[in-house]
């Protein structure tokens, strides 16, 4: 199994809603990532988890709250988002958090904030 699975594929939410994005991998990877990608732009790193602990937070606003319940799962909790947060949110995993290993991306969750 070489897949990173993200749900939901599409999400529409209001600015007062609370929602979550989910990511799952069963490759035994120890590092998991959240990226944000706006249209026609490259992915921007948001968070890195290494061995289930948050190792990098790229100064992301607190309305985005990551969670890593176990080594296979990664969540991104969303609350009080702004319309400019609308984007494709990509989850990725790699064997370790060093930048030498292959990075596997999920298909992404397309988020629209109204």
Partner 1 sequence: KNQVEQSPQSLIILEGKNCTLQCNYTVSPFSNLRWYKQDTGRGPVSLTIMTFSENTKSNGRYTATLDADTKQSSLHITASQLSDSASYICVAADYKLSFGAGTTVTVRA
Residues that bind partner 1 (CB under 8 A): 4, 6, 40-45, 88, 90, 92, 99-100, 102-108, 110
Cα–Cα distance for residue pair 79/18, rounded to 1 Å:
5
Distances (CA, A) of 41 to 11, 57, 105, 109: 20, 20, 16, 16
| Three-class DSSP category at 44 | strand
- For β-strands 31-37 and 44-50, DSSP reports them as antiparallel
112: nearest Cα among 82, 76, 91: 82
Residue (27 or 88) nearer to partner 1, CB? 88
Minimum separation from the CB atom of position 88 to partner 1 (A): 7
Rank residues 8 and 63 by Cβ distance to partner 1 and give the closer one. 8
Closer of 52 and 107 to partner 1 (Cβ): 107
CB of 80 to partner 1, least distance (A): 26
CB of 58 to partner 1, least distance (A): 10
């Amino acid at each position: 199994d070489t897949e990173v699975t993200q749900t939901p594929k599409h999400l529409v939410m209001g600015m007062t809603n609370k929602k979550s994005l989910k990511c799952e991998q069963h490759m035994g990877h120890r590092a998991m990532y959240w990226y944000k990608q706006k249209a026609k732009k490259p992915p921007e790193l948001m968070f890195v988890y290494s061995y289930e602990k948050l190792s990098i937070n790229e100064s992301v606003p607190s309305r985005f709250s990551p969670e890593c319940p176990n080594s296979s799962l990664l969540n991104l909790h969303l609350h009080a988002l702004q319309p400019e947060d609308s984007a494709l949110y990509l989850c990725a995993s790699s064997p370790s958090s060093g930048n030498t290993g292959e990075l596997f991306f999920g298909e992404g969750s397309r988020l629209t904030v109204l």
